[in-house]
A and B are shown apart, each in its own frame.
Chain A
Amino acid sequence: MLSRLITYLILASAAATVWGQAPAEMVPADVDFYLEVRNPQALYDQLLESPIYRALDLAEDGKLSRDDGLAKLRKVMAPLRPYLSGRLGLGIRSRKTFKFLAVLENPDGHSLEDFIKRVQQIDPDLKTGDIEEYREARLVAVENLGFLARCEATLLWSSDRFLLRRALRRKTGATIADREDWKQLAARANKDQIVAMGRLGRVLAKLEKFEAPPNFLATMMLAGVVKELKAAEFATLHGRLIPLPDLTLETRHDASKLDDWSSSQRRHLAMPIGPDTLAAIRIDRDFDAFWRRRHELVPEAGTQELAEFTQGMNVFFSGFPFADVLAATKPGLELIIEDCQSGPSARPDIKLPGFALVFDTKFDDKVRDRFRVAFQTAIGIVNAGAAEEGRQPMLQFSKDVQGTQILAARFLDDPRDGRSGVSYNIVPAMAFVGSRLIVATSVELTERLVVRLKKTRQRSETGDLMMIRGKRLDAILNLNHEALVDQQLLEGAASDEEAESNIKGLLGIVREFGDLVLRRQQTDDGARWRLVVGAKAFEKAAFKSAAKADQRERQAR
């Protein structure tokens, strides 16, 4: 008690000269990563008030009906809100452990004593002690929190005393503000809410959990991306979080650390999307190259799954080695998800959208036959399982669309009630359009894709792309509203109202977010990521960006 009183007396006696000091001018130039939030107070207010985050809070199993998490957070954080009126800078050093330094502009001249009092309002058990005078500031050790200091017009917090001292010695050492790359970035992103730069790879490499899950499919899809981010020698991030996220991350790589299958600058035709497309995903990987090196790339934990997958694929392809099948494909894979409700004779209880994989093959009749055989084998396996489990079997049929044959199979109706023999609207289908293979869960979607793929698509794009159209997702969720309510009730909702409330959370997110577009493109020495959330983001990404790419290509020619 006495020591705390002394602390307060000392702090209260500190000079309160207010100098204009940018956070970047306090943070040592050699931190690994530096992030600056402009006007954090507005960001904080909007985050807590944002319908998106409210919907997220609501979505957590009807939490809002029992307990308002955001209100609690607001109550806890309220004492610190007045301090967020200036810019907030955060430096991260990663050595054996992470060390942090936060610098908060203090234009209103709040005292450190007041700041500590407010922090103690949040955690009454917080103890202070070990006061040290350093330069023109006083360092206060705070139990389990690190060190606090006030220097002129800034408040500082660091998990490390040495780092804090270095920040206070700024006049003799280079700071972030002295760096040319920061000056350029700050000028370029002067209207953004968040600006960051640094050795991203170094920071990520320290994060133990920043790994692709140790199964082989995740390795195939994500390991390259994780590796690419970890190989980032330098990265910049800027953009906004509120009202809807629009963030751009640019990385520079050490190319020697990347796998030949994980990234490329291959050009693709624009994805075959249409007005009913719910989501479109393109993954730009060389699966053949991955498969050749699979034993080296797949972690030990995924080997069992890999062996099972290989065995399954060998059955599907009737003894034809899966490695040879992949060798007959070209890099890249597209997944198109669309609302397709035609199919089974009676509408099933769960109305799934159609899913279609589209990939390019080396034009070869033998390859085509192998895929057709695999399709037949898959239907045969489903029918064998159906016989065992008392479900209705599937009957194969074919269809001609603009001269292209579609192979498909539908579940027979259940003679017990004349309804479709399956609860889900699945009518598997496959077709070749030139060298491009479509494998889908809906014959209707396959028909649409055949028509689209036959049209000339001149636009060229590179990299990975994920686009989700909020309105379509909303529509499919609404279509399954009754089934979703049923599910909620079985999972413990106490009433229809609570079930509806839980679903509203999910629908609220979709409605508030609108579309989501995540794009990753290869640049000359790295990659550029862009995340855009909001209305029309899908349309812009799908059509305007592609049109720009076309224009660039024409100019290049």
Chain B
Amino acid sequence: MLFTSNDHRLKPYRPGQDGAFGRAEVAHLLGRTELGATAARAAKIEALGLSQALDNILAFDDAKESALYRRHLRLGSRIGRRQELSLLQAQWLQRFLSARRPLREHLALFWHDHFATSNFKVKDTVAMQIQNEIFRLGAAGPFDELLEKIARDPAMLTWLDNDSNTKVSPNENFARELFELFSLGLGNFDERDVKESARAFTGWGVKARRFHFEATQHDENPKFVLDRMGKLDGGDVLAAIAESGASDRFVATKLFRWFVRPDIDETLAAALGQLFADCERCTGPFLKRILGSRIFFEPASRAVLFRSPVQLVVAVLRTLNANVNAIELAKHCRMMGQDLFNPPSVEGWKGGRSWINSSALVARQNFGQALIEGEADSLKARSREETSALKPWVSAILTGGQAAIDTKPEKAPRLIGEGSTRLVGECLFMSQVHLF
């Protein structure tokens, strides 16, 4: 792969020359990728050095995953059949908590937000679980493959009404969101592209929870989409998107905003688009470049993203290395404003500052309170980490080193397990913990 971007901010970060790669940098890297981590994991990443650390963080292999993670994976299809959304949410959260390489789940969350599909309309947790698996397996792979799978995904086709998109009565819903929200962004397509694409996707529907092409409902007439002309079908539209430079920039900047920082100037946006194209529109290599870039480690890129509820609870519990009742955890996320598998609209969650409002803040503190109450609370978080070992690390990873963590003497824990949970629970009453 040839790196052709000329924006110096995207050039590789050189530990020793551009800055250090010590505990603070590791905390920043692990916070953004794995959301939270134990001090032992941090030590390992630090020892590897940046380049190998990134390879390690991005080395997704189910066979090398923890036994508990693989167990939760196997649980997925059974849980889906129960048609109880809270169980599916819990199963995903448990995967977040038990994974050795949680970036894969974090990326699945990114794609869930990007290709936002809600069970509120799909009303089928089996289909939602199938979609979730597409996100997980394609998390770091080629974007075009992921887009094609999503375009044929039963949950998506139901969610955006493409199962009722026929040649007699074309439904533009899927085609419009495909361009506007999933691949190109506003300003990079016109109304005719939407109408013609909708015709191209006619007959793409669902049968028995599988993609089904109903040839009798497909419009065979010529179409003109994104400068392509002919008897186009859905596949041709997706190919046209893949060739569009606008798509590179759209997807690349969205990934950058999620993993690095929200402010992107015009030069940087262009450089990111170029970098995504250089990475053959493949998420993993692109992510490795931006996470290993100078701009990622700049002070201005630290503690500038608001933790979403899922990012917050996973950060806390992974740092604690804790077991938890994930059914209750999913309820906490819902109370904080993030109901997994139920994004508020096709645009996903608004994110950023919108995560913090008066009721969400109370819900976040209630989560902290639930951790402090420990065993007495239905959350029943049980940490495996010792308080003394955790204290400096909690400060580094949960508050980006912005706050010194201290337990009050009167609250001194009698048991180690309770102590570490209390320590982190109290941390949630600090404003710094909501940023990472």
Contact = CB atoms under 8 A, between A and B. Distances in A.
A489 B72 contact: yes
Contacts of B323: 492-494
Interface string B35-78: 00000000000000000000000000000000110011001001
Interface in B107-161: 122-124, 126
A143 interface: no
Interface stretch (B79-87, B269-277, B425-433): B79-87
Given A390-B123, A486-B79, A491 B327 contact: yes
Interface stretch (A46-54, A416-424, A473-481): A416-424
A32 interface: no
B225 interface: no
The residue in A349, A415, A416, A418 that gathers the most chain B C-beta atoms within 10 A of its C-beta is A416
Contacts of B123: 389-391
Interface residues of B, number: 29
Contacts of B94: 489-490
Nearest to B415: A67
B324 interface: yes
Nearest to B381: A492
Contacts of B122: 390
Nearest to B317: A492
Interface string A50-81: 00000000000100001000000000000000
A348 to B, nearest CB: 9
Contacts of B78: 349, 482, 486
A265 B46 CA distance: 78
A490 B87 contact: yes
B81 A486 contact: no
A417 B382 CA distance: 39
A417 B327 contact: no
A130 interface: no
B380 A495 contact: no
A214 B115 CA distance: 47
Contacts of A495: 67-68, 71
Contacts of A496: 71
B83 A416 contact: no
B103 interface: no
Contacts of A494: 68, 323
Contact of B124 (A61, A66, A416, A423): A416
B229 interface: no
B209 A416 contact: yes
Contact of B325 (A390, A418, A419, A492): A492
A493 B324 CA distance: 8
A493 B71 CA distance: 11
A417 B208 contact: yes
Given A349-B81, A415-B208, A492 B124 contact: no
Given A61-B380, A417-B208, A423-B81, A489 B75 contact: yes
Interface in B209-225: 209
Interface in B190-212: 208-209
B67 to A, nearest CB: 7
A466 interface: no
Nearest to A498: B323
Nearest to A490: B90
Interface string A396-419: 000000000000000000011111
**Which one of A489, A490, A496 has the greatest number of beta carbons of chain B within 10 Å?**
A490
Interface string A489-530: 111111110000000000000000000000000000000000
Interface string A321-348: 0000000000000000000000000000
B81 A419 contact: yes
Contacts of B324: 492
A482 B84 CA distance: 17
B26 interface: no
Contacts of B75: 486, 489-490
Contacts of B83: 391, 423
A388 to B, nearest CB: 9
A494 B68 CA distance: 7
A394 to B, nearest CB: 15
Contacts of B72: 489
Contacts of A61: 380
A417 B326 CA distance: 28
Interface string B311-323: 0000000000001
Given A390-B124, A416-B124, A416-B208, A492 B71 contact: no
Nearest to A493: B323
Given A417-B208, A489-B94, A491-B326, A349 B82 contact: yes
B162 interface: no
Contacts of B81: 349, 419, 423
Given A391-B123, A491-B380, A492-B325, 16 more contacts: A389-B123, A416-B208, A416-B209, A417-B126, A417-B209, A419-B81, A489-B75, A490-B325, A492-B324, A492-B326, A493-B323, A494-B68, A495-B67, A495-B68, A495-B71, A496-B71
Q: What are the 5 A-B residue pairs with the smallest beta carbon separation, nearest first?
A: A390-B123, A492-B323, A490-B90, A491-B325, A416-B209
Interface of B: 67-68, 71-72, 75, 78-79, 81-84, 87, 90-91, 94, 122-124, 126, 208-209, 323-327, 380-382
